[in-house]
Amino acid sequence: MSVQNIGIDLGTEKITAFVEGRGIVFSEDNAIAYDNLNNETYAIGNKAGEMAEKTPEALTVKKPIIGGVISDFSVMTEILSYYIGKLCDKRIFRPNVIVSAPSCITNLERKTVVEATCAAGAGKVSVIDEPIVSALGAGLSIDHPHGTMVIDLGAGTTDIAVITMGTVAYAASIRTAGDTMDEAISQYIKKEKNINIGLVTAKKIKHTVGCAYKRSEEIEMEATGKNYVTGMPEIFNISSTEVYEALKDQINLIFDAIVDVMEQAPAELYSDICHEGILLTGGIAKLPGLDKELSARLGIRVKRAVDPEHCAAKGAGYILKNMKEMEDHGYSFRMKESIAGI
């Protein structure tokens, strides 16, 4: 029976799966909803994510990763088991599974992810740090000899890593990312317009008129919120300039964190980064002008990866194809029988 191997990206917002020979097969909300009446699982994935926005009393919605950190391990295990179990159907026999996980995950958590993945039907499993996986997914070669800075801008964290020869030489993670940007937009509208908007609306605004620089030709959109004074629904316009104002501090925090990492990097790596440039991955890399704005401020070439939010899943796919090469770089792939000593 042929083995179709699986790559999983465990993100704060999305869980994305890559199947060898098929590419990305799904990208769903990394969430689960429980029925409060009997504590049973009600929904997993997008359906659970949608419930979170509506917060019905009958359900409790949990997200296993908050701010890039696994906040509820049993929930994470249940979601992983569900999806891997679904992918390991009769046509797929004990596949190899690569899991791209937040780089701050502890060894114990790593072991539990491996165990959960094996329990769900996997053969060989490896949990690999997201910056490496994303870099490979963006096309960086594993034996690239020069230091490259990869910045993954997701929903919960911005992870800044300097990668050389397939390992993370230097890394930092900050909580300023997609979710805090949504909060900043919501706060701005509250302060400037006296209107209360939900985080779903804030995200929609970020996606539609969000900008990391002041656009010369302003664009705007219509949104709906609730007036703080009257308590009534209110339709309002919001422009790209206003969203730029709302996000300015967030961009500054990201810029400062990059400068911090650059300053701490040894001289050799520093000059490598200046020469090689910076690669942006993750959904927030799609914020218009972020690459250009960072490049102008840093004086270094900054490139947005193609299809940035899928780099980690694609990178997991790359690793599946090149396990031998990865092993030569010190990565190990564990069988269920050999995980005890992780």
Per CB under 6 A, residues contacting ligand ADP are 11-14, 154-156, 178, 203, 206-207, 210, 282-284, 286-287, 309
CB of 209 to ligand ADP, least distance (A): 10
CB of 307 to Mg ion, least distance (A): 13
Residue 13 contact partner, candidates ligand ADP, Mg ion, none, CB within 5 to 8 A by sort of partner: ligand ADP
Instruction: Scan residues 133-192 and list those touching Mg ion (CB under 5 A).
Output: 154
| DSSP reduced 3-state for 90 | coil
C-beta closer to ligand ADP: residue 118 or 205: 205
How far is it, in rounded angstroms, from Cα 93 to Cα 280? 35
Q: Which two tokens stand for residue 38?
A: 């009997």
Residue 102 contact partner, candidates Mg ion, ligand ADP, none, CB within 5 to 8 A by sort of partner: none
How far is it, in rounded angstroms, from Cα 242 to Cα 248? 10
Residue 334 contact partner, candidates ligand ADP, Mg ion, none, CB within 5 to 8 A by sort of partner: none
Q: Report CA-CA distances (Å) from 215 to 206, 291, 294, 300, 304.
A: 14, 14, 15, 22, 19
CA 135 to chain CA mean position, Å: 13
Count how many residues are written for the chain: 342
Q: Report CA-CA distances (Å) from 166 to 60, 115, 242.
A: 40, 25, 41
Q: Check residue 237 and report its DSSP letter.
A: E
H or E element at residue 266: none
Residue 315 contact partner, candidates ligand ADP, Mg ion, none, CB within 5 to 8 A by sort of partner: none
CB of 11 to ligand ADP, least distance (A): 2
Residue 140 contact partner, candidates Mg ion, ligand ADP, none, CB within 5 to 8 A by sort of partner: none
Residue 289 contact partner, candidates Mg ion, ligand ADP, none, CB within 5 to 8 A by sort of partner: none
Applying CB under 5 A, which of residues 11, 178, 210, 225 lies at the interface with Mg ion?
Answer: 11
C-beta closer to ligand ADP: residue 14 or 110: 14
Q: Which two tokens stand for residue 302?
A: 């900054």
Q: Between helices 199-209 and 240-264, what is the axis angle to 10°?
A: 90
Q: Binding residues for Mg ion, how many (CB under 5 A)?
A: 2
C-beta closer to ligand ADP: residue 118 or 211: 211
Nearest residue relative to ligand ADP (C-beta): 178
C-beta closer to Mg ion: residue 223 or 258: 258
Cα torsion 312, 314, 315, 316: sign? positive
Residue 206 contact partner, candidates ligand ADP, Mg ion, none, CB within 5 to 8 A by sort of partner: ligand ADP
Nearest residue relative to Mg ion (C-beta): 11
CB of 94 to ligand ADP, least distance (A): 27
Q: Report CA-CA distances (Å) from 26 to 11, 77, 104, 184.
A: 13, 18, 25, 30
User: Is-contact 198 50, C-beta < 8 A?
Assistant: no
CB of 258 to ligand ADP, least distance (A): 17
How far is it, in rounded angstroms, from Cα 153 to Cα 258? 12
CA 229 to chain CA mean position, Å: 37
C-beta closer to ligand ADP: residue 269 or 279: 279
Residue 20 contact partner, candidates Mg ion, ligand ADP, none, CB within 5 to 8 A by sort of partner: none
Residues in contact with Mg ion by CB under 5 A are 11, 154
